[in-house]
Structure 1
């Protein structure tokens, strides 16, 4: 499934081993995911992010972050559990950040989106500039 995207010119990134214990907040998860987006999109020029998720988490990624399911339920041998492969286009993510980033928890509840918990576009630009200056 990933190779089909590559064949169309996509530059792909995969988030692996992403896990939070019950102590992680929504804001922490949004920060971690947003930093993953910045790393893939702005430092490595990726166009899509792929992630394998347990079936019980699939709807969250689809509804709250805009991921799309690729294929049917499969077994993930790394963790010996069922998983769906999901993909999100980073152009879509960028649009959502521009529209909702930094708006906070109240908007994330009314919009049913995780993007209001992401950094604001201004904060994002600052992070990108600092990371590019490190390299």
Structure 2
């Protein structure tokens, strides 16, 4: 009972109560030009880095260059940097033009290391 009172005082929604968030997903690229060259190297995609404001499942919205907010009850299916990493790996794999593609967690012995930084990943609106 004390936990319920504390949750109510802090305006925290208990699991199973309140409105559910909508989940949104992005899909990897799946079509490529016919003349895309095949390469003989292996690609390792390192974990994507991002500022704290984007390192979340929440969908960011920017009203100006200095103001970042989030859509209410709207989330990505994963943290934005993790989702972008997965999309890059799957898109490179879908090309069928690279011998092997993987992320740093799988221990692939690669020839090429791709390091990425997610600087902006938001909807932009004027108020």
TM-score range, shorter chain: under 0.3
TM-score under structure 2 length normalisation = 0.27
Higher strand share: 2
Higher helix share: 1
Q: Which of these two proteins has the greater Rg computed from alpha carbons?
A: 2
TM-score under structure 1 length normalisation = 0.26
